[in-house]
Structure 1
Amino acid sequence: MSRRWVQNGQVVLPDRVVEADIVLEDGLITLIAEADQDRAQQRELAAEALRAGTGEVIDATGSYVLPGLIDIHCDAIEKEVQPRPNTLFPLKMSLIEFERKLPVHGITSMYHSLSLGVGLSLRGDHLLTEMVELIHAYRSRRAMIRHGIHLRYEVAHLEGLPIVERYIHEGKIDYLSFMDHSPGQGQYKEEGSFERYVMKNQGVDVYEVKEIVTDLLERQRQVDWRHLEALGRLAAERGISVASHDDDSAERVDQFIRFGVNISEFPMNLETARHATSRGLYVCVGAPNVVRGGSHDKNMSAAAAITAGAANVLCSDYHPAAMLAAVFKLAVLLERAGTEQGLAAATAMATLKPAQALGVDRLVGSLELGKKADLILVETFDGYPMVRRTLVNGTTVYESNTYFRAT
């Protein structure tokens, strides 16, 4: 039996922050000692184990102890595969190098967001299926963190539908979202916004983009929404969480609820976010939006939605480093808005709430007895949070306690 003691930390529980010691055994949290008597007893046991060479003490003095962050929507692996146009790197190298970065940011569960639709990098059928198979095989053999697969299906990509169906039946995906990035609605409601995006990101001219738009709108008209509804319900029945994406109206939310959706990703405005919340959906917003103080596309403010009670899940979207920074920024904003336990509430949005949304909260997402020992030690420097140590399943996968002053 392996036993570790995490001592002297400010432990972030689901509803409060307390000074406590945590005992980890065989990859699980077996005790959270808050009372002085319990802590003294555990320290005696820890000292005995150290003398016998059968235990480890992790000193969390000066640090917060948080559950490992759970990122349910992040497409940053696409940039690892293709950091510049026309520069595809080997998929195995990309996955392994991307994985090594995540514990540094405190992310212990990553649901890689892979887009099935016409586009750049991994967004074509061939590379996407290769990456799904690679992640599925890799995570069963060895891993630094917990890997999940979030399949983002562009509904107008008609040829991709059999791939979605196959992965649902094979159980190779953990999360499915329906996307519709056609012009005139959702993210591209403003006239000309879709055309500008495509010309910028795919390097096409105004004539080529007209052909792309014409083709996309024709494909969108051919979407069999009843088939997609049945597919969403099948996924939900098999324990795969289902999400809508870029909802821009209450009617859109209601439509996708019929698809078995339990998550609304990035609603376009506060009214839609509030409606999704009122219908019992988890509402996911981006950590970069919180950190930057607003949407890069001039859409809904994530912080405004959270403080209004209209959003409750944080994801990194495209920038994993933003997750932890957003948690600590939100803690301050929530306390200013009247939340007594701001850090606990903000942490839950990046840990417990996403775990609940994906149905894995029995195992991960909070520091509670019997759950997996996924946790991070975080210290702050001038108010900015930095990870000192990351443990997954009770094993240290990242540690950095040494800094020097340049001269």
Structure 2
Amino acid sequence: MLQDHLLEEHAGPAAETEPALVLANAQVVTAADSFRGAVTLQAGKIAEVTDGGAIPSGAIDCQGELLLPGLVDLHTDHCERHAVPRPGVQWDPLEAAIAHDAQVAAAGITTVFDSLVVGLRDADQTRRDLLGQIMAAVEKGETLGLFRSQHFLHLRCEVTDPTLLDQVEPHMDHPLLRLVSIMEHTVGQRQFPDAEKYREILIKLFHVPPEQVDERFRRDAEASRTFAPTYRAAICRMAHARGIPVAAHDDETLEHVEEAAHLGMALSEFPTTLVAAEAARECGMATIMGAPNVVKGGSQTGNVSAVALVKAGLLDILASDYVPVSMLSATLRLTGDDIGLTLPQAVKMASLAPAKAAGLDDRGEIAVGKRADLLRVRLVEGHPVVRTVYAAGDRVA
């Protein structure tokens, strides 16, 4: 399969005679520990991890800076934002994907799930067609080796769109599709329990004429009743038949979570309340929150904060959401005295935990035999500065 072929391509050269690269005198952060040591990269994988500050001849001196595993981002809208940089403006999809890739690599993200919306209720056909164009561009970038980081696809399915199933079914066998999430943006629930706040967002961000908002609310509520339960179950069946994990999005209540668990969803993406996050943990679902929520100190729409979930022991995974650089910043903020995670605990949320959730067992930690995805980070007045990034042993930033 092309999926397996692409994974092999990104595993780096297989020749055992390839020269080794040693990153020495670094503060190495593994899944369980943090120590002064060295990491040896060879043939695209981590060949050795040692402790101590010795700098062998020919090694790169990391000067005591952090050496972290490459970050794994399960949810970013960033590629779409490059493809449509302004309302009504569409950029060449391949150029957009390449520009997006450069930014995520520079942010230390070596595996990224480009998150694309399926089910744009008010979109014209041109905007709907862009979905397939972006997916084709990402596949071309992967196939031709144009990217620094490795890219997979995450389809975000809006179950209030009457045409959703017709839109999503042609893409379910795409070789890069590794994650599906199910969204329902209806006023009075989930992300938007406050009708007036949602009204403001529709007018300011989505440019809905004010006189049309109430009709939009009515139409969405009717679509939720008519289509959402059937489409939610149908998307889960499609994904499960292909071994693709499914995430619930913006769950608010115990009932939302119980329905998601009953349908076999393995991830709870951006739960909006503590109740939903607690229920997800009880149901064995891994919880994802946006890193900007950590960096900005709370939810943009007034829902539960990521930090509150961390303090309650309910957060498993960080995702960049819409700001690639937020993943690293959020990871380090979680180690502050007011939150108190250890560096390995925080780093795991942005690397090993998302890798495992996506079934990528070859990466996500600094350990012998794993993919040589690493980033060297200097702290400057508390701010992380990415110095170098390696993907499958190659320097990419």
TM-score by length of 1: 0.88
Superposition pairs of residues 352-371 of structure 1, within 5 angstroms: 352-360=352-360, 362-371=361-370
Q: How many residues align?
A: 378
CA distance in structure 2 between the aligned counterparts of 1:194 and 1:152, rounded to whole angstroms? 20
* Preserved contact between residue 77 and residue 112 of structure 1 (Cα < 8 Å): yes
Question: How far off its partner does 1:392 sit?
Answer: 0.2
One-letter code aligned to 2:135: V
Of 146-155 and 112-121, more deviation after overlay is shown by 112-121
**Partner of residue 53, structure 1:** none
Q: Which amino acid aligns with 2:51?
A: E
What is aligned with 1:375?
374
Tell me the equivalent position of 1:72.
Answer: 74
Bigger drift between 112-121 and 26-35 goes to: 112-121
Give the aligned residue type for 2:325: A
Segments of 4+ in structure 1 off by > 3 A?
Answer: 119-124, 169-172, 336-339
More helix by share: 1
1:155 aligns with 2:159: yes
- Alignment-derived partner of residue 137 in structure 1: 140
Indicate the residue corresponding to 2:46 in structure 1.
29
Give the aligned residue type for 1:98: H
**In 1, Cα distance between the equivalents of 2:386 and 2:83?**
26
Q: Of residues 265, 272, 275 in structure 2, which corresponds to 1:271?
A: 275
The one-letter code matched in structure 2 to 1:236 is: H
- Structure 1 stretch displaced more, 201-210 or 300-309: 201-210
Q: Distance in 2 between matches of 1:272 and 1:265?
A: 11
Instruction: Say if 1:195 and 1:209, in contact at 8 Å, map to a contact too.
Output: yes
Deviation at 1:148, TM superposition (A): 1.0
Q: Distance in 2 between matches of 1:370 and 1:126?
A: 41
Distance 1:6 1:308 in 2: 36
Whole-angstrom CA distance in 1 between matches of 2:194 and 2:170: 35
C-alpha distance in structure 2 between counterparts of 1:391 and 1:226, whole Å? 44
Q: Which amino acid aligns with 1:358?
A: A
- The range that moved more, 115-124 or 173-182, is 115-124
Cα-to-partner distance string for 1:67-112 (whole Å, 9 max, x where unaligned): 0111111102222122222222211111111111112211111111
2:130 is matched with: 127
Structure 1: tracts of 5 or more residues without a match? 51-56, 399-407
CA contact (8 A) 2:374 2:390 kept: yes
Q: Which amino acid in 1 is paired with 2:23?
A: V
- Displacement, 1:210? 2.8
Alpha-carbon contact 2:36-2:64 (below 8 Å) kept: no
CA contact (8 A) 1:14 1:352 kept: yes
Change (3 A) 1:309 1:395: same
Contact 1:263–1:284 (CA<8 Å) still a contact in 2?
A: yes
1:178-197 Cα deviation digits (max 9, x unpaired): 00001121111112333322
Tell me the distance in 1 between the aligned counterparts of 2:38 and 2:88. Answer: 51
- Partner Cα distance (1:83, 1:337) in 2: 36
Matched, 1:393 2:395: no
Residue 296 of structure 1: CA displacement?
A: 1.4
Q: How far apart, CA to CA, are the structure 1 residues paired with 2:329 and 2:137?
A: 30
The equivalences for 1:4-403 within 5 A come to: 4-34=21-51, 43=56, 47=57, 50=58, 57-118=59-120, 124-142=127-145, 143-223=147-227, 225-226=229-230, 228-333=232-337, 336=338, 339=341, 342-360=342-360, 362-398=361-397
Aligned AA (2:365): S
CA distance in 2, matches of 1:123, 1:292: 34
In structure 2, list runs of 5 or more residues that go unmatched.
1-16
Amino acid at match of 1:365: G
SS at match of 1:306: helix
Kindly tell me: are residues 122 and 32 of structure 1, through their superposed partners in 2, closer, same or farther at Cα, counting changes over 3 Å?
farther
- Residues 377, 384 of structure 2: 8 Å contact kept: yes
Q: Are 1:27 and 1:393, in contact at CA under 8 Å, matched by a contact in 2?
A: yes
Residue 101 of structure 1 aligns with an amino acid whose one-letter code is Q
Contact 2:41 2:48 in 1 (8 A): yes
Q: Distance in 1 between matches of 2:85 and 2:211?
A: 27
Q: In the TM superposition, what is the alpha-carbon distance from 1:382 to its structure 2 partner?
A: 0.7
Q: How big is each residue's C-alpha offset from its partner over 1:248-307, in whole Å with a ceiling of 9 and x where there is no partner?
A: 011101101122211101111112111111211110111111111111111111111012
SS at match of 1:174: strand
Cα deviation for residue 233 of structure 1 reads 3.7
- Change over 3 Å in CA distance of 1:172–1:159 after alignment to 2: farther
**Which segment is superposed worse, 72-81 or 187-196?**
187-196
Do 1:116 and 1:124's aligned partners in 2 also have CA atoms closer than 8 Å?
no
RMSD: 2.1
Are the structure 2 counterparts of residues 338 and 194 from structure 1 closer, same or farther at C-alpha, using a change threshold of 3 Å? closer
> Structure 2: how far apart are the matches of 1:105 and 1:206?
38
Contact residue 5 and residue 22 of structure 1 kept, 8 A: yes
Q: Give the whole-Å Cα distance in 2 for the aligned partners of 1:223 and 1:185.
A: 16
8 Å contact from structure 1 (residues 233, 260) kept in 2:
no
On the 8 A contact 1:115/1:122 being kept in 2, the answer is no
